[in-house]
Amino acid sequence: MPLLLPIHRLPARLAVVLVLSLDGAVQAEGFGRWDTKLRDCSLLQGRMELPLQAQQQTCQRLRLEQNMEGLLSVRLIQPSAHQRFGSQTLVFGGVLAEGQQTMRCNTNGECQPRWPIRLEVATVASSLADDQGVAPTLPTAQLARGSCLLERRALQCQARDQNGHFWEAKARH
């Protein structure tokens, strides 16, 4: 018959190690990122009343970041040719739509998406620049409403805020 001791009778160090290892195994797998190179990408941002003046940009990489279970950010990245370490990005952040599964992440923070992914967008952050690498505005982050649909080989995101700004992204990977 094995000897079973209540947890309060285990040596303190052993109890802490057991609790942390059980807790860490669950939590460590809940966050991380996945990224890939894009074949085609089009980013658009502007104002609803001035659609012909919308700024268009391309991007080269897609990064999905899961910092908490159920929360996801879709980051579209274009390395800047005019800044050594800079880049322009458009980020759609929000919660997974009802019934969607979180990404599977290992303890190193490497994740694998479970396609398709439907995201209810709550915020948009952008730092887009023109062809010469000049940003016409400061980087921004704002509350917005929209959605993203990410499939195994394509994505489509759109969002609008209450002040008439809009953001759209289409890409294939």
The per-residue pLDDT for 79 is: 75
Q: Report the distance separating Cα 129 and Cα 122, nearest Å.
A: 23
Q: Let me know: does 76 contact 89? Beta carbons within 8 Å.
A: yes
Residues with Cβ within 8 Å of residue 29, at least 6 apart in sequence: 104, 105, 106, 107
Pick the closest to residue 64 from 27, 111, 116 (CA basis): 111
pLDDT at res. 131: 55
**For the chain (length 173 residues), average pLDDT per consecutive 10?**
42 37 47 95 89 82 95 89 68 97 95 97 82 65 96 97 95 94
Q: Strand pairing partners for 146?
A: 121, 159
- The pLDDT, as a whole number, for residue 135 is 62
**Residue 29: what pLDDT?**
61
pLDDT at position 86:
60
Spell out the alpha helix ranges (H) of 33-148. Answer: none
